[in-house]
Amino acid sequence: MFSRLFDAIGETATTAFSGVVEAIRTAFAGDPETRRKVAFSVAVIALSAKMAKADGIVAPEEVRAFQEIFAIPEAEASNVSRLYNLAKQDVAGYEAYAQRVAGMCGSGENNCAMLEDVLDGLFHIAKADGLIHHKELEFLANVAEIFHIDEAYFERIMARHVHPDGINPYAVLGLPETTPFDEVKKRYRVLAAESHPDRLRARGVPEEFLTIANDRMAALNDAFSVIEKARAAA
């Protein structure tokens, strides 16, 4: 699918990533399902490359983390590499690209689930070298704001990935510690349903990216288990 995209883009892809963005709609106009997958893939490729550059260096661990969530077929490897290298040249312009990505959820939609999937992928890459640099966190927070993801929602996403003092299970579920257990259970079930792999497929998330869904489900399961055991022992 990336070779089709580059055929549509032509030489513009060697000088401007914006050419990639504009070509997705026309290259896959008659195939909306593939268009969603390509748009999602390009979003993560571009933003992960730009984020990796945000702290001044693209670490080998970050490149490997990118490869973990994108099992690229050998025939597509050179095209994906072209996209990644083009995007990582500098951080400039990521805001405009993030705005285009946000448009995949419709104008002004808040807390779009597909954009949470993108942020999860970016966090996965950012933490791959063992430390999320403060400039990377600023990058992620700015992207979340452009995505119309509110502060509370972003804090819940971040709690799954950034926890220097240990994971706070209530933060993972986005609840105060005084929440009655019945409400905790209800929130857990809603979040687990939203994170089911079938839901992600319906949003156009590529199959190989579902490792992120598994990590999210593991975090949700662990958070609920910790709370459940603590409430039972109280």
The CA distances from residue 173 to 43, 162, 182, 222, in Å, are 26, 14, 13, 11
In the block, tokens 């312009």 appear at 93
The whole-model pTM stands at 0.79
Q: What is the pLDDT of residues 86-141, one digit of tens each?
A: 777 766 678 877 887 787 776 556 778 888 888 988 898 888 877 788 888 999 99
SS3 179: coil
- Among residues 187, 152, 154, 193, the alpha carbon closest in space to that of 173 is found at 187
- Count structural domains, the chain: 1
Q: Do the beta carbons of residue 219 and residue 169 sit within 8 Å?
A: no
| Range 43-48 average pLDDT | 78
Host domain of residue 223: 2-233
pLDDT, residue 13, reads 47
Helices (H), 2-150: 2-9, 18-27, 32-54, 60-69, 77-87, 94-102, 113-126, 134-146
pLDDT, residue 195, reads 85
Other C-beta atoms lying within 10 Å of the C-beta of residue 37 = 20
Q: Do the beta carbons of residue 82 and residue 46 sit within 8 Å?
A: no
Q: What is the pLDDT of residues 188-219, one digit of tens each?
A: 999 999 888 788 777 767 676 777 788 889 99
Between these two residues, 132 and 176, which has the higher pLDDT value? Answer: 176
